[in-house]
Structure formats: structure tokens, C-alpha cells
Amino acid sequence: MLVDLALQGGGSHGAFTWGVLDRLLEEPWLRIEAISGTSAGAMNAAVLADGWTDGGAEGARAALDAYWLRVSKAAAFSPLQRTPIDRMMGRWSIDTSPGYVAMDLMSRMVSPYQLNPFGFNPLDRVLRESIDFERLARSPVKLFITATSVRTGRGRVFRNAQISVDVLLASACLPTMFQAVEIDGEAYWDGGFAGNPTITPLVRESEAKDIILVQINPRERTETPRSASDILNRLNEISFNSPLLKELRMIALLRQVADPGNGEGKRWAAMRPHRIMTDKLAEFGASSKLNAEWEFLSMLKTEGRNSAAEFLLAHGDDLGKRPSADLGVMLDE
């Protein structure tokens, strides 16, 4: 069964996606045709595709395990750590961490060009140790990685042979934390502003009709945010979800019209979307996306595996036949 994957970004919460992928890769009847990823989703996608090229499904699982372990080790000496009280209370957010508070305040007053003049990013070394980019270029898994042009505000989609460390760092480049990443003379920021992730290339360039979206960012919040940090977090969630919702709405609309129009419209209408998500991620504060403790990442992986297992049990039979994600409600929004 051919499937495409659409992987959202979300910092350390990407470990949830790691767990989802780990569980899906255990199913020999599922074959991943293509993956569209942004930010942490881009990292997961590239590591999986490279590992698959080296050793099939088991190679992909091992590569993902090794990548997230490296992420955790790289963050071990970061100033962004939970306080002893947070640990005692079992809180995973780092809102009260002195390092996080200082970074949050500085990011509102000082640009990363001043605060980090050499453009250091700890993920640079992690990615170089985790991915063979020459091997990635010939992977049978098609990759579509999105970054946002600073100049135009439009998304650019990079494919296997174009993907490099800089492309992956650009896809995860938060403007308040890191300098824009230059690729071919163009500056790029986080791909989430333009597509989180981008669905269009999956529709146009993949033979699969089933798209499994692994959603990290909550679509809804029951309470109105009141603190400055909560307001900013919700603004980011809305802006990062908006491009994806527009593409999903297009699928919903085209599935309902009697005549989808030309070949392009028919391809959109034929797509069968599915979704894997968990409400648990909404329980953690935005700062937890910067928490890369192994215990936290492992817990998110377990949650991802459980969510994927629940999806397969409830909707495994839908794959290849019908969509399981209810997109019709979007027509009423």
C-alpha cells in the first residue's frame, strides 16, 4: 500500500512524529512513497529517507533513534533546562528556567545577528553526523522540504538532490532565534510560515493517493490566552497551521463538487487524507518545544507509537479505500 506522509514541525515535539514513524515502519504492507516535511518534520523526513536507503525500514528506524539521541546529547549542556522545582512537579515546560527567561527577553530586544553573530546552531553538527546527503539524493523515498523566502514570503520546496544541511536548518529557522539561512544567494526562514507542511507536491508528484498527516500544532485552544508568552504561542500556532488548512480545505472542496474540472482538480479530489495526532501535546507549554531531555523525548516517542497504533487499528482498513480525516467540517468554517 503506497502512502505519503505530511510531517509538521514543532521543535522537540517532533519526537512524537518519531514515534509515529517508528510504528508505521513496522508494517511491511505500508510503503512510503513520498514525505513532505517542515522544521522538525523535515529533519524526521530526511533522516528516515537516508536510513531507508541504507537499510530499508529497519535502517530508517535505527537512523531515527540515533538522530534523536544525538539531539538529546547536544542539548545536555544547554542553559535551557528545567529547574529543580519543575522536575519535582513533573512539569516538562521550561518557562521558569533562567536560561529560557533570559533568551525570551533578549529575543524581543536583540536580533540573532547581534546575539549570535557567528550563526551557531547546535543542529548543524547533529545533522552532519546523522545524514549522508549524497545517499539521500538517491533515496527511493521522495522528499519535499519547505523553507520560506525572507524576500518574497513565499515557500520554496526542496527535493532530494537539493537537500543539504543548510536546507534543513533553513526549514527550521525561527527568525527570533537564528540568522536567516542563505541558499543560492537567497535568505530563508522557517518553512512553517509558508507550509506546515506543504501538501501540493505530494498531490502533483507522487503516485500515492493516501496522505497521512502527522499533526503536532493544536488547531484549537479552549481558553483565551492572556499572558504575553501564551498569546505569542497561539499566534505562532495559528500562523503555522494556516497554510496547511488552506490546502486541506481545497481537498475538501474538490471532493464535494460534482465536476472537479481539469486534471489538476481531479488529482486533488482523488486524495484520501488521514490524520494522526494526540491531545497530549496541547498540555505542554510552548517552551517545552525547546526541552530535549532524553526522558521527555522518549515519552513523546511512546505517545507517537501509541497514537499510530490506535490509527492503524481504527483506520488501517481505510487506507487505499476512503479518507478517514473529516475535512467536511472545514467547509463550514
- C-beta atoms surrounding 293 within 10 Å: 19
CB 145 within 8 A of CB 133: no
Cell numbers 527568525 correspond to 175
Largest CA distance in the chain: 61
- Note the pLDDT tens digit of each residue in 157-168: 999 999 999 999
**Residue 88, burial from CB neighbour count under 10 angstroms (0-12, 13-18, 19+):** exposed
Q: What letter would DSSP give residue 179?
A: P
Percent of the chain with pLDDT over 70: 90
The pLDDT value given to residue 258: 45
Strands 155-159 and 142-149: antiparallel
Is residue 331 scored above 50 in pLDDT? Answer: no
- C-beta atoms surrounding 283 within 10 Å: 11
Look at residue 286 and give its three-state secondary structure: helix
The pLDDT value given to residue 270: 82
pTM: 0.90
Split at pLDDT 50, 70, 90, the class of 330 is very low
Split at pLDDT 50, 70, 90, the class of 97 is confident
Residue scoring higher pLDDT (132 or 224): 132
CA distance linking residue 220 with residue 240, whole number of Å: 13
Is residue 121 scored above 70 in pLDDT? Answer: yes
Helix axis angle, 40-74 to 123-130, nearest 10°? 100
The pLDDT value given to residue 264: 61
Split at pLDDT 50, 70, 90, the class of 194 is confident
Comparing C-alpha atoms, which of 133, 109, 106, 158 is closest to residue 47? 133
Comparing C-alpha atoms, which of 150, 127, 136 is closest to residue 40? 127
Residue 150's φ and ψ, nearest 5 degrees, are: -65, -35
CB 233 within 8 A of CB 286: yes
